[in-house]
Structure formats: structure tokens, C-alpha cells
Amino acid sequence: MERIETDYFVTGTGALAMAFVDTLLSESPDARVVMVDRHHRPGGHWNDAYPHVRLHLSAAWYGVPSLELSDGSYELTGFNKGMPRLATGAEVLAYFELVMKQRFLASGRVQWSPKCDHFASEGNTHRFRSLLSGAEHEVHVRRKWVNGTLSNTEVPSTHPPKYSVADGVRCIPCNDLAKVARPYSCYTVVGAGKTGMDACIWLIENGVPYERIRWIVPRDPWMMDRAILLPGQMGWRRYFESCEVQFDAIRDASDVSDMFLRLEAGGVLMRIDPAVEPTVYRCALVSRGELAQLRKIGEIVRLGRLQAIEPSRIVLERGEFDADPDTLYIDCSASAVPYSLWPKLPVFQDGTINLLFLRWCRPVFSGSVAAWVEAHVENQQEQNAMCVPVRPPEKPIDFLRMLAPTLDNYTRWEQNPEMSAWLKACRLNDATAVLKGVEVDASGQELLNAVEAKGLALSASQRIAQLLAVSEKA
């Protein structure tokens, strides 16, 4: 058995872990790292995602701090025309592989073992095994084990449907859409998350008539308008104006439902049907061009979760209806980052770093922040005070439950002069990415000052806590 000595042992090479290690290499010049993953290349769930997947937000916010993912180009056609080009899944995987080989391995400070299972731990000693050769390795860790697997990301190709499918019924994961080789009378998409939306858009883009698409929407989601998250000269003003809208909505709302109506009126959030109040919020990003297409779908079924697909009928929580005989069912029901499985752990424990979200809807930035804190703050209590976990959302109320610790974290970060300076330079930080290459005039500076003041006032006034209390009493 091979024995390895290292400073940090990292389980997982998903985006969160990659951002952590990239920052650690910059901020801890003497640190040595061993990384293992069950996949054959870095990128985590991107290895299992459907072929037509694309990064849902601008690449300016994604990847690792040391290397830009965006090429600065714009969509010239399609439903996102005029917006920054959305990176494909293949591009994201190629990017992380480049980071691993040209940044991590080339540094001489990182050892990477793909296709390996971390199967045992005892104190500072960990063991992993090759899934191909069966060879085992023992790692002695001088500093900490970094757990990069806690997101438990679910995608349809790795998690089968939670409903029953009768023999003879054609039901495929979203990954297999590109392999379909004959036309069907009806295409039924199961799931209203971003995967389900992507499946519907893919069908439309590939010529399937709207009337032949059925969309099973168990719960309607609130979606964020992608146009408010555009970096650079094109989008910076809209971004900060949307921040103003959010702070004003929270300040003035009588309850959470009222807050969401104000966010919708201010152009921050959208929904599929203006007559249906959403009951889900999961950070989904959609352009108004895509939303317009989704609204044209021939049939949207709102009868709760799917229970069973039988040859002649479809059974849901709140009803059933006849099944079309020549139907292709596309399963998009996996939970992405499942709310129910999110661990209740601190980021820093004795000998362990748990990579959790530290800012709402920005996982890779969270990994980078955790590495900076590890490199510059010694006291564990102080580390955890600066890194309060932000649980991923499920319900609309979680919009506030995420924002409260996010604002608290930012307040503590800004109180540390070194970290404040680092944040201003980190390309994964929202404000840094948005303002890159921007010349801010006097009116723009007034906007920035107003947003900053409202953010601080909001955090201090405990308005979020008041709205949460009102919601719990209702």
C-alpha cells in the first residue's frame, strides 16, 4: 500500500473543491494537496449532466479565480440573443481539466487521483482505492481533510425516477434526448426545475411543435431574470438597480408573498403563469426569451408530483388522466442540490473543512472564500464566525433564509481589511465581476453608494428577521 504525506486531502473535484484548491494555492504558497474523485476528470456533476446542458449564469461568476472561463462573446441567435454566451457543459469540463493540468498539477504541489474511492478515515489518516486497479493508498494529513462532496448533487442520469414506470412505457433521462431517433406523438417532460425547463427548450429548439409537448409541473417555481446578472458595461447598472429593488421590497413588504410580488413588479423575478402563485424558489435563472417559449407549451399539468406512468394513464398526487399511446417521457425530476439532505455542519471542524455554501446561489465563490479564510485566519471560532453556512433554497421563504446569513457573512468579510481587499480583486465576487472594465460616472457612483447603504441598513434593521417571524406565525 502506497503511503502519502500531504497538508490537505480533498475528496471531490467538483466546482466547489476546484475553487477551494485554486485559492489555497495562491494564498498558502507552501501548501501541498492530494485530490481524489470517483469521476475520470474534474468537474463533479458536470460529468453526469445531459449533453445539451449549459451554464445558466454568465461565466464571469463561474470557475476558479485564477482563470477566466468566459471568452467575452455574446449570443448572436436564439432565445438569449444579445446576452453573454452561455458556456456549454463540454466547455466547462474542458475548462476544469485545463485548470487541473495546467494550474494544479503544473504547480508541483497537487497530486490528483481520478477514478478513486475515498473509503476510510481514522483521525488524520485516510485511505482511498482505485476503481480500476484496486490499488489502495494511505494518506497522512498534516493539516486538514477537505470534504467537497456535501452538495450531494442529483442529476437524472445518476438518480432514477421516484415514480413507477410500467413495462413498455418509454421513459428516458434528460441525458438521452439527443439519442432519440424517431418522432413521437407526444413528448412529456417530468419536472419543473431548471433541467425540466432545459428539456422543454431543447425540444422547441429542435422543431417539436408546442402542442406536442406536455409539461408536468409539480410545483411552480419563481425564476430570476438572467438579464439582471450581466457583467460589464452592458449589465452593471441593471445589476445594482435590481439590488435596490430587492432591498426596497424586503423593507416595504408586509409579508413574504408581498415581497415576491414586489420583486416581480421590479423585474427581478418571473413566473410561468401570472395567475399561479409559485411555491418553489431554487435560484433558477431564465431569460425572458426562454420564458416566452415555455409559456407556449401546449399542455402544462399542475396536479402535484407524478406517482406512476402506466400504459393507459398517468397518476399524480391530485388526479390522473389518460396517457397518449405514443408518448416519450423525459425524466427531469432529480433534485439538483437536495434541500432535505443538506448537512447541518460548520465549515470548520477539528481537522476538517466542510465545503458548504457561504453566499446564496454562488457555490464556487463559497469554496474560494473558505480557502482564503483557512489560509489567513487561525482561530477556528473566528473562521466559523466568518463562514456561516447558507442552506440551498427550496421554498420562497428560503429567499430570506439565504439572504440573512449572506449579508452577515459579507459584513464580517468587509470588517477584515485584508479580506476586503481580496474580495475586490476576486473575479468570482459579484461586484468585482459586474464592474470589470466599467467606467462608473457620478450618477453610477450614487447608485453604488445607495445600494451599499441599503444593504448595511437592511442587515442592521433585522427586517429579514421580522418577515421570517411573520411567516412563521401565518
Q: Does 10 share its domain with 148?
A: yes
* pLDDT of the residue at 281: 95
Q: Give a yes or no: residue 474 inside a domain.
A: no
- What is the C-alpha separation between 93 and 41, in angstroms, rounded? 8
Residues 11 and 61 grouped into a single domain: yes
Q: Does the pLDDT value for residue 303 go beyond 80?
A: yes
Pick from 118-122, 267-271, 307-311, 469-473: least confident: 469-473
Q: Which of 426, 434, 430, 435 is nearest to 22 (CA)?
A: 426
Query: Which residues, 6+ apart, have CB-to-CB distance to 466 below 8 Å?
Result: none
What are the respective helix, strand and coil percentages of the chain, to the nearest 5? 40, 20, 40
- Judge whether 471 lies within some domain: no
Rounded to 5°, the CA angle 378-363-68 comes to: 95
- At residue 253, does pLDDT exceed 70? yes
One domain, residues 313 and 349: no
**429-450 mean pLDDT:** 88
Regarding whether 81 and 167 lie in a shared domain, the answer is no
Q: Which of 312, 336, 360 is the last residue of a domain?
A: 336
Please give the pLDDT value at position 457.
66
Position 459 pLDDT exceeds 70: no
Rounded distance between C-alpha atoms, residue 284 and residue 290, angstroms: 12
Q: Give the span between the Cα atoms of 425 and 467, in whole angstroms.
A: 34
State whether residue 457 is helix, strand or coil: helix
Residue 216 in this model has a pLDDT that exceeds 80: yes
What is the predicted pLDDT for the residue at 158?
Answer: 77
Asked whether the predicted pLDDT for residue 58 surpasses 90, the reply is: no
Q: Are 252 and 262 in contact (CB under 8 A)?
A: yes
30 & 143 share domain: yes
Residues whose CB falls within 8 Å of the CB of residue 378, separated by 6 or more in sequence, listed in order: none
Question: Which range among 189-203, 263-277, 427-441 shows the weakest confidence by mean pLDDT?
Answer: 427-441
190 forms bridges with which residues in the sheet? Answer: 216, 331
Judgement on whether residues 329 and 210 belong to the same structural domain of the protein:
yes
pLDDT surpassing 80 at residue 1 = no
Q: Are 396 and 222 in contact (CB under 8 A)?
A: yes
Q: Domain check: are 88 and 120 in the same one?
A: yes
Q: Could you tell me if residue 351 is inside a domain?
A: yes
Residue 460's pLDDT is 59
Domain boundary residue, one of 314, 336, 358: 336
- Quick one: angle between helices 442-461 and 398-415, nearest 10? 110
Shared-domain flag, residues 212 and 302:
yes
Asked whether residue 82 falls in the same domain as residue 162, the answer is no
Residue 107, pLDDT > 90, answer yes
Domain of 351, CATH number, reads: 3.50.50.60
Q: Note the Cα 169 to chain centre separation in Å.
A: 32
In total, the chain counts a number of residues equal to: 474
Residue 163 falls inside a structural domain? yes
Using alpha carbons, select from 275, 294, 276 the residue that is nearest to residue 284.
294
**Residue 284 Cα to chain centre, angstroms:** 9
pLDDT in tens, 370-406: 999 999 999 999 999 999 999 999 999 999 999 999 9
Joined together, the cell numbers standing for residue 57 give 449564469
Flag whether the pTM goes above 0.75. Answer: yes
User: Per the domain annotation, does 345 fall within a domain?
Assistant: yes
Based on the domain organization, do 29 and 89 belong to the same domain? yes
pLDDT at residue 437 in the model: 87
Task: Give CA angle at 60 (58, 66), nearest 5°.
Answer: 150
The residue with greater pLDDT, 465 or 197, is 197
Find the DSSP H helices in 65-173.
Answer: 89-98
Nearest to 42 by CA among 19, 26, 62: 19
Separation CA 184–CA 172 (nearest Å): 13
Q: Report the C-alpha gap between 128 and 142 in whole angstroms.
A: 17
213 and 298 co-located in one domain: yes
As for how many domains the chain has, the answer is 2
* Structure confidence at residue 155 as a pLDDT band (50, 70, 90): confident
Residue 69 located in a structural domain: yes
Return the C-alpha torsion angle 357, 13, 6, 101, nearest 10: -130
Query: Does residue 114 fall inside a structural domain?
Result: yes
Same domain, residue pair 306 and 381: no
What percent of the chain has a predicted confidence (pLDDT) above 90?
79
Rounded CA separation 455/434 (Å): 17
Residue where one domain finishes, among candidates 391, 423, 454:
391
- Are the beta carbons of 337 and 349 closer than 8 angstroms? no
| Range 300-328 average pLDDT | 96
* pLDDT tens for each residue of 124-144: 999 999 999 999 999 999 999
Is residue 245, in this structure, part of any structural domain at all?
A: no
The residue range of the domain holding 148 is 2-153+338-391
Tell me the average pLDDT of the chain. Answer: 93
Tell whether the model's pLDDT for residue 461 goes beyond 90. no
* Segments in 208-266 forming alpha helices (H): 232-252, 256-265
